[in-house]
Structure 1
Amino acid sequence: MQHMKKIISRIVMLLFVIGIAVSGSIGNVYADSENTDSMSTTANQNRLSGNDRIETSLKISQDGWKYGASTAVIAQGYGYADALCAAPLAKKYNAPIILSRQDSLSDETVSELKRLKVDKVFVIGGTSSLSDNVESQLKNIGVNDVKRLGGADRYETSVKIAEELGDVDNIVVTSGNGYADSLSIASIAAKKGMPILLSQSNELPQIVKNYLKNRDIAKTYIVGGTAVIASSLESSLPNVIRLGGTTRFDTNLAVLQNFKADLNFDNVYIASGDGPNGDEFADALSGSALASTKSAPMVLVYNTLSTKTADFLKSNMSDKTMLTALGGTLVVPAVIVDDLIHYFNGEATSGGIGDETSPTTGSGSGNSGTFTLEITKDNNGTLLKKQIFNIDGNKTVLGYLETMVDNIDLESGYINSMSINGQNYLNNSAPDWSYGTSWFIYVNEEFASEGVQSMKPKTGDLIKLDYHDWTYETINDSDSSTGEGSNNLPE
C-alpha cells in the first residue's frame, strides 16, 4: 500500500510538471489571432489578406462580421473616385465595405453576401463605376433592397452619400484628386458620423456648396496641406480646422493626434497609403469600416513606418494591442509589424521603421518636383493608368505618356488612338463633328489649352486624359463655361 501511494504521488507530480511546461509554452505564443493571451507581455499581430484586393475585402468582412450583417456597401475596387466616402455610410448601417470589379461580382463575393444574409445593399457610384449587372446579380440572389448612390462625378457622389447620413454636425473635406488623406480620416469620420466631402484643389464644387446651404455645421475638418486643398477654400467652409502635414504620412499622424481621445489602441490597423501604381487605396478603404467598429486608428505606410508615427503608437499601445496588417506582405511588409512590436518592447529594429521611401512625397498630389499623369475613361469613371513622374524640363507630356501606354497614334495634333493594357481606344467622331467618342486632356481639372505634344508639366500638376462620349452641344457648353473657345475640342 505504501509503495502504491509513492507511485501515485510521482504520477501526480509528473502531471503537474507537464502542466506547467505546457501552459508556459502557450503563454509565449503570440499568434496571428484576435485572442490576446492573458499572459502576454507584448503586443500581438494579425494579418487579413487575400490573393487580391477584392478577396482581402472579403477576409475583412469575414473577420469583422462573423455573425452576418443585414446591410453591405459595395464599391469599385480599382478606382478610388467614388469609393473614398463610403466608410461613414458603412458605419451607420453596421455594414462591411466589399470591393468589386466594375462589370460583375465575383463568385466569392456572392458567397460572402449569402453568408452575411444581407437584405440591403448600397452600390456606390454610377454605372461606369459599378455596372447595372452588379445590381442584377444582387437581385438574383434575393437582395431586393438595392440603392445606388452615385452622381455625375466623384464630387456629386460624395454629396449623395452625405445626404444618406441625414443631419450632421461636423463634416470632413478632402481632395478628390488623391486617396491618402481621405483614408487617414475615414474610420474616424465613420465613428463620429461625419460625411467626407470631396473638393477640387482651388475651388469648392458647386454641388458641395449647395449641400452646405442652410446646414448648421459646427466644424469642418480639412484634411491635407494647402497643396491639395488651397487655403483660399477655407472662407467657403464653416468653422475650419485643418489637419495636414508635409507628406501624406505626416497628415495621417496629424489626424491620429487630433482625435487621439476618440481612439482605442487595443486594435491598430496598418495599410498601404502609397505605391507606384497610384491605386493602393483598396485595403485601407475596406479596412476603415472594420476599424470604425472598434474606434481603432488606421495607420498608413509605404515600405517603412515613419519614426514619428512609431513614437506616437508606442506611447499609446499596451500589451493588449493587436496590430493587424491589411493586405499581403507586398503592400504591408512583415518587417513593419515586427519592428513596431520590437520598438514597443525597446528592442532593436531591422529596417521597418524610419523615413518613408515613398514615390509620392507630398500629401495628395502636391509634390515637389513631380506631377501626376492619369488616364481615365467615361468622365473619370474608370482609372486605366496612373503614374507619378519626376519632372524632366526637356520632356513634353507626350514623352511621359508614351512610357505608360502600349501605343499612341497622333493625327493632325489630336490623339487618334491609344492602346492601353491590350485594348485600343479610338478617337471616333462624326464627319460633321456633331458627336463622337474622343480623348480630352485636363490640367488640374480644367480643359487644357494645348496638346500633349507641346505641353510641359509643372510641379504639382494633375494632368488627365479622359476618353468619353461627347456631342456638339456639350463641347460648346464646356467652351462657354471655361472661356477657352475652340481649344476645348477633343484631344
Structure 2
Amino acid sequence: MPRPSARRALPVALLSALALAVPAAASAAPEPGFETLTPACVPAPPVQHPGCGTAYRGAPLPSGTPDQVVELSGADRFATAAAIAEHGFPEADVAVLVSGEDRHLVDALSAAPLARSLAAPLLLATRDDVPAATAAYLRDHAVRSVVVVGGDDALSALTPKRLQTLGVTDVQRIAGADRYATSRAVAAFLPAATHGWAASGEDAHLVDALAAAGPAARLGEPLVLVADDDPIPAGDALRALGVTTTTVAGGPEGVFPEALAPLPTPHRAAGEDRYGTAAAVAVEAVDAGLPAEDVVLAPGLTGHLVDALASGPLGRATLLVGEDQSSFDVVEAWFDTYGAGRVTAVGAVSISG
C-alpha cells in the first residue's frame, strides 16, 4: 500500500525526551468520554461473568488535541500492570492473571485478546505470590472471577487459594502441555473471526507476539504461537475459529518459511529488527481500522517486555522503544507519517519534556 501522507510530526522536544527509564507512577489528566467494553460471552467464558450483556466503562478516549502524553507505570512490573488496569479497565468484574516472571512470559503472550473480550485487565503474579499491587486491584474492584493462564510451573497450584483470600470466588485455569498448546487453548475461548495472528514461541522472538497482542485484542482476533517443527496445530486452531487469513508477526528467523504453509493464507508483517517489525504490525492494525494517532510506546528490550504484555488488552497499535537509534528512527517515522494524538508510554518508557 502507498505510504500515507505526513500529517503531523511528533514535536522534536517530545521525541528527544523519549527514553527507557524507571519513571514514577503518573496519571493522565481527565479526558472527556470513555471506551465502551462489552464482554463477548459466546462462546461461554471460562469463568462466570456477571457482566454478559453489560457495557463497561473502559479507558478515557483521546481528547482530540494533539500531542497528549499518558504515562502508566509503577514501582515495579506488578504495579505497572495495575496502573494499566486502572486506566483501561476501571469497572472490571473479571481479571486475567498471568505470570510476571521473565521465564514464564511466553505462557501469557496470547492472553490479551481473551482479556479484552472479557472486558478484563491482564494482571501479573509470581509463581508463589500475588503481589501487593495485583491484590489491591482485585480487592478495590471486588473482582470475583479470575482466569489464570499458564500451568502450575508459571502460577502454582496454590494460586486459586491465594486469590480466594482476596475475595475471588471463581478461578479457572487455561493451560496446555506447552506454550503452544496454551496459546491454542486460550484462543478457543474467543469468538469466531475471519482474520488471525501468529508469531514465534521461541524465547528469542517473543517480542513479535507482544507487538501483535494489542491489535489482536482490539480487533477481537486470536493470536497463536507457531512451533517451527510442528506448525499444523496452530493452523488447525485458527481454522476452527473461522480464520481464513493470517498475519504472521516477524520474519523467517522467527517463524520459518516452511512453517507458514499450514496457516490459513499467511502473510508476514516484518521489519529489519524488532522495532521495524512492531511498526509493520502496527501498520497492519491501522489498515484494519485501529487509530494511527493513539499508540502505545512499550519497552522493546529483553528484561522489560513484561510492560508490553500488560498493555496488550488496551487494544492499541504498539511501537517498541529501545536504547539504540533504530528504535527512535522507527518512532519518528511513525509520527512523521501519522501524527501524534495520544501517546501512552508504559513501564520503563518515559516521555518527559
Which bracket does the TM-score occupy, shorter chain normalised? 0.7 to 0.9
Q: How much identity, in percent, do the aligned residues show?
A: 30
Q: CA deviation at 1:98?
A: 0.4
Distance 1:82 1:249 in 2: 22
- The residue aligned with 2:28 is 33
Describe the shift of the 1:186–1:55 C-alpha distance in structure 2 as closer, same or farther (beyond 3 A): same
Change (3 A) 1:61 1:333: closer
The corresponding residue for 2:167 is 142
Matched, 1:312 2:338: no
Selected match of 1:190 from 198, 205, 217: 217
Task: Describe the shift of the 1:241–1:134 C-alpha distance in structure 2 as closer, same or farther (beyond 3 A).
Answer: same
Q: Which residue of 2 aligns with 1:108?
A: 133
Per the alignment, residue 251 of structure 2 pairs with 225
Q: What stretches of structure 2 of length at least 5 have no aligned partner?
A: 1-25, 33-61
**Given residue 268 of structure 1, which amino acid in structure 2 is its aligned partner?**
V
C-alpha contact 1:82 1:157 (8 A) present in aligned 2: yes
Deviations 1:283-334 (A, max 9, x none): 11111112x1xxx32111102543243222233225xx2222111xxx3244
- The answer as to whether partners of 1:36 and 1:322 remain within 8 angstroms in 2 is no
Please report the TM-score for the alignment, with normalisation by the length of structure 2.
0.76
Aligned mates of 1:279, 1:273 — CA distance in 2: 9
Instruction: In structure 2, give the amino acid aligned to 1:238.
Output: P
**Counterpart in 1 of 2:115?**
90
> Would the alpha carbon gap of residues 111 and 205 (structure 1) be closer, same or farther in structure 2, given more than 3 Å must change?
same
Please say if 1:271 is aligned against 2:298: yes
Q: Deviations over 1:198-255 (max 9, x none)?
A: 112x333454355356664221111100111111122211111211122111111111
CA contact (8 A) 1:34 1:322 kept: no
Aligned partner letter, 1:129: A
Please list every run of 5 or more consecutive structure 1 residues that lacks an aligned counterpart in the other structure: 1-30, 339-491
Q: Does 2:60 align with 1:75? A: no
* C-alpha separation in 2, matches of 1:222 and 1:72: 28
Aligned to 1:170: 195
- Contact between 2:93 and 2:144, CA under 8 Å: does it hold in 1? yes
Task: Please give the alpha-carbon distance, in whole angstroms, between the structure 1 residues aligned to 2:241 and 2:342.
Answer: 39
Aligned residue pairs, count: 292
Partner residue in 1 for 2:271:
245
- State the shift of 1:187 in Å: 0.8
Given that 1:162 and 1:195 are in contact with CA atoms closer than 8 Å, whether structure 2 keeps it comes out as: yes
Change (3 A) 1:106 1:241: same
Q: In structure 1, how many angstroms separate the alpha carbons of the residues matched to 2:67 and 2:27?
A: 11
- Aligned: 1:127 with 2:152: yes
Q: How far apart in 2 are the matches of 1:216 and 1:48? A: 35
In structure 2, relative to structure 1, the CA distance for the partners of 1:127 and 1:39 (3 Å cut) is closer
Query: Does structure 2 retain, via aligned residues, the 8 Å contact 1:171–1:219?
Result: yes
Quote the offset at 1:102 in angstroms.
Answer: 1.1
1:22-71 CA-partner distances (Å, limit 9, x unpaired): xxxxxxxxx962446999975122211111101110111122223x2011
- Counterpart Cα distance in 2 of 1:232 and 1:218: 19
1:180 to 200, 207, 231: 207
The amino acid of 1:223's aligned partner reads A
Q: Work out the CA distance in 2 between the residues paired with 1:41 and 1:211.
A: 42
Q: Partners in 1 of 2:131 and 2:74 — Cα distance?
A: 14
What corresponds to 2:80 in structure 1? 56
> 1:51-101: CA deviations, max 9, x gaps?
1101110111122223x2011000001121101111000110010100111
Aligned counterparts of 2:290 and 2:335: Cα–Cα separation in 1: 11
Q: Distance in 2 between matches of 1:57 and 1:39?
A: 23
The structure with higher relative contact order (CA 8 Å, sep 6+) is 2
AA aligned to 2:83 is K
2:179 aligned to 129, 145, 154, which one? 154
Show the 5 A alignment for 1:367-446: none
**Aligned partner (choices 56, 67, 71) of residue 43 of structure 1:** 67
CA distance in 1 between partners of 2:242 and 2:117 (Å) = 20
RMSD: 2.5
Q: Distance in 2 between matches of 1:39 and 1:167?
A: 33
Q: Which AA in structure 1 matches 2:181?
A: E
Residue in 2 that maps onto 1:23: none
Counterpart-to-counterpart distance in 2, 1:39 and 1:65: 18
State the AA in 2 paired with 1:247: D
Deviations for 1:410-467, whole angstroms, at most 9, x for unmatched residues? Answer: xxxxxxxxxxxxxxxxxxxxxxxxxxxxxxxxxxxxxxxxxxxxxxxxxxxxxxxxxx
Distance 1:279 1:199, change over 3 A: farther
Aligned-pair distance for 1:138?
1.6
Structure showing greater Rg: 1
Does the CA contact (< 8 Å) of 2:300 and 2:320 recur in 1? Answer: yes
C-alpha change, 1:196 and 1:69, in structure 2 (3 Å) is: same
**Among residues 233, 237, 252, which one is paired with 1:211 in the alignment?**
237
Residues 1:256 and 1:110: Cα distance change in structure 2 (over 3 Å) = same
Partner SS, residue 81 of structure 2:
helix
Helix, strand or coil at the partner of 1:204: coil
Query: Does the 8 Å CA contact 2:96/2:121 hold for their aligned counterparts?
Result: yes
Q: Which residue of 1 aligns with 2:89?
A: 65
Shift of the 47–216 alpha-carbon distance from structure 1 to 2, 3 Å rule, reads closer
